[in-house]
Amino acid sequence: MDSDSISILTSKAPTKREEELPDSTDALLSSSDAPQKSSTKSVLFISLVLSTCVALSAAIAIAFLFFSSSSSSNSESINEVARPLTKLKHPVVLLISSDGFRFGYQFKTYTPNINRLIKNGTEAESGLIPVFPTLTFPNHYSIVTGLYPAYHGIINNYFTDPETNEVFTMASHEPKWWLGEPLWETVVNHGLKASTYFWPGSEVHKGSWNCPKDYCMFYNSSVPFEERVDTVLKYFDLSSSDIPSFMTLYFEDPDHQGHQVGPDDPLITEAVANIDEMIGKLIRGLEERGVFEDVTVIMVGDHGMVGTCDKKLIFLDDLTSWIEIPTEWVQYYTPLLAICPPSGYSPKDVVAKMNEGLKSGKVDNGQYLSVYLKEELPSRLHYAASDRIPPIIGLVQEGYKVEQKRSTRQECGGAHGYDNAFFSMRTIFIAHGPQFARGRKVPSFENVQIYNLVTTILNIQGAANNGTASFPQSILLPSH
């Protein structure tokens, strides 16, 4: 305290009663009570100073304990190193996809097994960011190649090659469609074994990968989830040299239910609980074999889910006053509108007329659709550098859908494919294994980073990709 503060504390303004006392009383106070009053003031002042010092000391002590504890925790995290393998002879990565597992689904019900991975592993705190478009095939292939769809070629679930007019579907296994180098091919290139229990692109004979018998399962949605888990577990019964270094495991749920009923229905809760049971079955199987702590389990989804309903529809036929968009121009309606007008039509003019109509206020829900030339899309979408991408792309606002014409068909369910900036499109990233810190939360990141993460764990050189070379160091524990 400075001298002015002390002066303020020790001075005392006269009360109204003191001001009204007669002069004789004033004299008496000044002669007999003054010493006592002065002493009382001193005691009060000293008490105030002491109590202030005690409070200040307590605050300092608490702050010291808090910061020293925080510092100790940070120090432990910094000093923590990757744990050595105890039974396996080489690193093994098991990449699990739960299709359409929107970030937040893990809180819908009791998920003890997923929570165990989170508690003892590393999680993207606000979810994994999918690539655009937030569809199944583009995202699954981005996860295993580290490439954006414009570079790995799978730009949609369905699309047309502009040169040959051939149509890609989810049953197309010709290598010409699938660009880049998926993880199973990278692993085999290094003399290691890989296995795939369903994953888009895994059935394609490409490079050194020929989808080997017993190590590559052809997609069949009717195979029970339990059987898929059992098959993966059996790989760990092989001799050490025959255990695949990289494995994939795929579940269609909860995407299947999400399309039927949207993200908030009890069916989703049931599906999430079932996925958790499958994770529990897997963990128990690995523990019985004594390898759970050795295996790196990475659990992801490919995209999120949002509810849709008929009242949120946009009809292209409502634009006929400005421009007619025939069905044969449209490669994909929703939530990613993809239009390829024939030669003789200027894509720029088509975009201008469509946007004029959409912004006129005369088209139902028109304000929720924005149409672009692909090269004018936001650069963050990375959705221009491929001839396979149609020249005109429409971005639909969250929860809205595009259709050609009005109908009486009723539809309420769920959809994905929207702008990957929407939080509803986020999915999960949970990793448990020797090189992941226990109970750690990391910032959200795009799924193109996973390729480099896996190759780093396996200590192999990956192919060129759109991920960041330094990303693995930001999330993995140091080796020493």
Q: Which residues are catalytic?
A: 136
Q: Closest by alpha carbon to 180, among 149, 218, 136? A: 149
Q: Which residues pair with 442 in a beta bridge?
A: 124
C-alpha distance from residue 171 to each of 158, 201, 212, 459 (Å): 10, 10, 19, 33
Q: Which residues pair with 373 in a beta bridge?
A: 392
For every residue of 302-335, which 3-state class applies, written as one string?
CCCCEEEEHHHEEEHHHHCCCCCCCHHHEEECCC
Q: Are 297 and 123 in contact (CB under 8 A)?
A: no
Helix axes 112-119, 266-288, angle to 10 degrees: 60
Q: Closest by alpha carbon to 302, among 144, 461, 93? A: 144
Structure tokens at 307: 């509810």
Q: Closest by alpha carbon to 105, among 327, 325, 266? A: 266
Q: Are 18 and 34 in contact (CB under 8 A)?
A: no
Structure tokens at 272: 């999430």
Q: Rounded to whole angstroms, how far apart are CA atoms 20 and 276?
A: 82
Structure tokens at 439: 């109970």
Q: Are 155 and 172 in contact (CB under 8 A)?
A: no
Q: Rounded to whole angstroms, how far apart are CA atoms 374 and 392?
A: 6
Q: Closest by alpha carbon to 310, among 415, 397, 410? A: 410
Q: Cα dihedral angle (176, 152, 306, 413), rounded to 10 degrees?
A: 0
Q: Side by side, which strands form the sheet with 330-332?
A: 330-332, 336-339, 392-396, 369-373
